């Protein structure tokens, strides 16, 4: 399988993927919210001091997200979050 690692192509698509991952308690990260709307808002406004394209790397297989890793970069905290399908 050909997996491509690149910045997120769409905030909405990434929010959907993260919402699906959060539905599974093994992958749940409460910080970014539970609903797609909450996650989208977090990614758009509160996730990092960097642009989303600089904060996330997304793994795509056949144009479908199969994994994502995010690095929250802020003045006081640096936290990484890893999600995979």
Tens-digit pLDDT profile for residues 13-40? 999 999 998 888 777 676 778 899 999 9
Give the pLDDT score at 77: 56
| Number of domains composing the chain | 1
The pLDDT tens digits for 49-83 are 888 898 899 999 999 999 999 887 765 555 555 55
CA gap 17, 49 in Å, rounded: 22
Q: Name residue 61's beta-bridge partners.
A: 3, 64
- Give the three-state DSSP class for 25: coil
Question: Tokens 């406004």 identify what position?
Answer: 45
- For residues 2 and 61, the answer to whether their CB atoms sit within 8 Å is yes
- pTM of the predicted protein model: 0.80
Give the pLDDT score at 48: 79
Domain of residue 59 covers 3-84
């Amino acid at each position: 399988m050909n997996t491509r690692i690149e910045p997120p192509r769409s905030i909405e698509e990434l929010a959907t993927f993260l919402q699906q991952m959060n539905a599974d308690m093994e992958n749940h990260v409460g910080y970014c919210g539970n609903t797609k709307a909450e996650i989208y808002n977090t990614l758009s406004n509160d996730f990092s001091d960097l642009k989303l394209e600089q904060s996330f790397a997304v793994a795509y297989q056949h144009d479908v997200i199969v994994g994502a890793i995010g690095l929250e970069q802020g003045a006081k905290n640096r936290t990484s979050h890893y999600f995979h399908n």
